[in-house]
Chain A
């Protein structure tokens, strides 16, 4: 009970400590969007015959006619009250867009990460156990290929092979077959929602849609994870306690998986956290190729259109995600290595 309270206190302290950073991010993004060339009022007032009057009107509606400090104060007040503004690109409140799209991005990223970890850990361990062997070189080759091929190339390639040529993948447009019924919106995660209502056929359909984009992302994230596992395992396998464990006759599996792996996991967890937060926002290309309704492509479209509110909302979301992921990672450290305690 005391331990739980300590964890709670630590989490609380961390969240409070991250508030100034989040505020900084909000203000910085706000200012950055306004120094970027490109006037949203001009861009969006592009209807036939739209003239200066329409541009001014749109500027007034967007509040862009007021001085920047006033705009900033209004924006901070709005963010404080949970209003992130309205997207010109989709015409919807940013908060609604993000809450609808974040589960899509999360579902894809988490699946990809599980897939990547499921491959990277065994590959990294095997490579570390036999450094310099054919297997090690094979793993290195797979990793290099995964990183070298940009995700839109591997994505299009997977679509070409599995959808166009072989015809075994469903059409690569979004989270669910367009003719299928979607589950009730409970969590926003289709796989979870289908399970909750017990619709296994729907679950399989949603999972099938997820396979190609998740594989594309997993290929890309495989390299940092596998390489880090290998390097970290190599270091640990050469350390004194592993030699001791071997010398007193402990089983090989026990030595590798229990003693060595647990000690080697710390850097892998760190990398996993970074990879996760990066992929959440940076998988724009995968989202575009697979028409995945995620937050990354949403923010990119907004940025290209100088649509301020969604970009600001997206950056705030990503900053918050970073804070939370870091918190989770720090908690995981404690599990992987009880000696670590981050205050």
Chain B
């Protein structure tokens, strides 16, 4: 489907056809009427594919896909610190009206909602669901490695068992299987439409779905100018939401505005309704002027971390890591980099972790005397020289962090050179384990403690930032993953947390707030695991 800009915008304004001049003026009147029912979000990033599984896709793609496509199930929402957040422990059906789980936890049966249709009006069939799940585990895309974290790996696991019933078989009772069906990658696709655009080289229509949709979700893409803006129209037939009603906003405009201060001006002037990626330093001032509403919610499934490369001397020595972790100025960094906004992960005083929540506050405290003693024990009584690196895109908060780290580590004789690098370069260096000491951000879509541990503390991939290789943690993540006994699960997680606290492969320092700045009359904003706005939650008035 070729999107014609003019047709699209005429549609946006509710004008069917007409002369050029007539359409333009009539359009402007219509625009005034629909402004209240239109949501305009301005963002710094870009949408570069309508398919969230496209390799090289941006984070913004994920949020968009949640609104265009449905999944079989969805996380619930719950009130949390600062506002509403997603609730992973409360999963409801989305395209499925009922989900049956066998007592042994090995079979999930999904019953497709009666009367559910795709955007083109054709009914959703079990074959569509099967094709969509097959695609998610088979296509060369971002999806298979993620879905494998829920033991979803092969098309053989998915079986059509009725006109509207699909069965998912699991080799083990994986605790993250259902969660993995709630994420953007597990989207449900109109297979009849998609297959029409599949080719022998591209059996899953990866190319076609980048610029087109075959969806049935709450919003329909009206125009898409990649890298600039996407305009969405409400799907009035959509009944798969929380209350079974379509969302409030009839139109959503998602526009890329690269300059953060321009985004702030647009929202403050009332020309835009929502921005979730303003500069943290601007937010307190915006809040104090009081022209807009600021909803600040800690990103509970993400963290800022200071990483020691455990495969590189001198950081291969746990004593050195403990010493440096005791010399980091945590509170000062949190104030300078985040203006004290967010949830801290440092400052705990326990020796044995009291419960199995993770990420959590860890026993990370500034204690120069202890740091000096540890460094001497490690054989570096006079310190050493090292480099601290951060990415260009993190400059706003990493630069003050780096300066404070340099100053504080100088007190124990560690001389730090600060290095700033382009993002593409730093990601290459991290993968090749060539950076000794750096800061990065991690996040997990499915914030189960064992999933965090598995992703960020085991394996050879990039996300094991510190390159830590602890056999006990590696083994524990594998058993915890399939553990059905809550007590044993908790014990395994606690053991891993204690090992991390003792070995400090990295110092997770805080969970920054997501500051959603919006017009005063907008309500319902919810913080989601994909860290993007879900327009289905929002309403005006």
Contacts and interface: CB of A to CB of B under 8 A. Distances in A.
A39 B430 CA distance: 11
Interface string B199-217: 0000000000011000000
B5 A185 contact: yes
Nearest to B30: A179
A76 B246 CA distance: 51
B311 interface: no
B422 A38 contact: yes
B299 to A, nearest CB: 15
B145 A54 contact: yes
A293 B6 CA distance: 18
Contacts of B259: 156, 288-289, 291
Contacts of A57: 55, 140
B269 A171 contact: yes
B145 A53 contact: yes
Nearest to B53: A47
A182 B9 contact: yes
Nearest to A173: B257
Interface string B461-475: 111000000000000
A305 interface: yes
Contacts of A45: 55-56
A244 B398 CA distance: 68
Interface string B117-154: 00000000000000000000000101001101100000
B145 A49 contact: yes
Nearest to B10: A181
Interface string A125-162: 00000000000000000000000000000001001100
A90 B262 contact: no
B55 A174 contact: no
A40 to B, nearest CB: 7
Contacts of A291: 255-259, 262
Nearest to A163: B265
Contacts of A87: 48
B423 A91 contact: no
A173 B262 contact: yes
Contacts of A97: 226-227
A288 B258 contact: yes
A54 B445 contact: no
Interface in B136-177: 140, 142, 145-146, 148-149
B33 to A, nearest CB: 11
A76 B439 CA distance: 40
A44 B56 CA distance: 4
B105 interface: no
Contacts of B25: 201
Nearest to A155: B259
Given A39-B428, A42-B428, A198-B20, A49 B149 contact: yes
B233 to A, nearest CB: 15
Nearest to B61: A91
Contacts of B57: 47, 91
Contact of A37 (B54, B262, B428): B428
B31 interface: yes
Contact of B227 (A42, A61, A90, A180): A90
Contacts of B27: 180-181
A91 B50 CA distance: 10
Q: Pick from B227, B429, B459 the residue with the most CB of A within 10 Å.
A: B227
A290 B261 CA distance: 11
Interface in A158-215: 159-160, 163-164, 167, 171-174, 178-185, 197-199, 201-202
B6 A179 contact: no
B424 A55 contact: no
A305 B423 contact: yes
A interface, how many residues as a size bin? 35 or more
Contact of B226 (A47, A92, A174, A197): A92
Contact of A156 (B20, B261, B271, B272): B261
A181 B8 CA distance: 9
B247 to A, nearest CB: 20
Contacts of B85: none
A52 interface: yes
B207 to A, nearest CB: 10
A47 B228 contact: no
B427 interface: yes
Given A48-B444, A92-B226, A43 B48 contact: no
B229 interface: yes
B278 interface: no
B20 A171 contact: no
A46 interface: yes
Interface string B421-442: 0111101110100000000000
Contacts of B23: 181
B488 interface: no
B161 to A, nearest CB: 29
A333 to B, nearest CB: 39
Contacts of A58: 55-56
B427 A42 contact: yes
B10 A44 contact: no
A48 B269 contact: no
Interface string B32-68: 0001001010100010110000111100000000000
A195 to B, nearest CB: 12
A46 B461 CA distance: 10
Interface of B: 5-6, 9-10, 13, 15, 20-21, 23-25, 27-28, 31, 35, 38, 40, 42, 46, 48-49, 54-57, 140, 142, 145-146, 148-149, 210-211, 225-229, 253, 255-259, 261-262, 265-266, 268-269, 271-272, 392, 422-425, 427-429, 431, 443-445, 455, 459-463
Q: Which 6 A-B pairs have the closest CB atoms?
A: A38-B424, A44-B56, A47-B142, A306-B424, A38-B425, A90-B227
Given A50-B145, A172-B265, A179-B31, 10 more contacts: A37-B428, A48-B146, A52-B460, A54-B55, A90-B226, A159-B262, A163-B269, A180-B27, A198-B21, A305-B424
25 contacts: A37-B425, A44-B56, A46-B462, A48-B455, A58-B55, A90-B227, A91-B48, A91-B226, A97-B227, A159-B262, A164-B265, A174-B228, A178-B229, A180-B28, A181-B23, A181-B24, A181-B28, A197-B20, A201-B25, A288-B259, A291-B262, A298-B227, A301-B46, A305-B423, A306-B424
Interface of A: 36-40, 42-55, 57-58, 61, 87-92, 97, 156, 159-160, 163-164, 167, 171-174, 178-185, 197-199, 201-202, 288-291, 293, 297-298, 301, 304-306
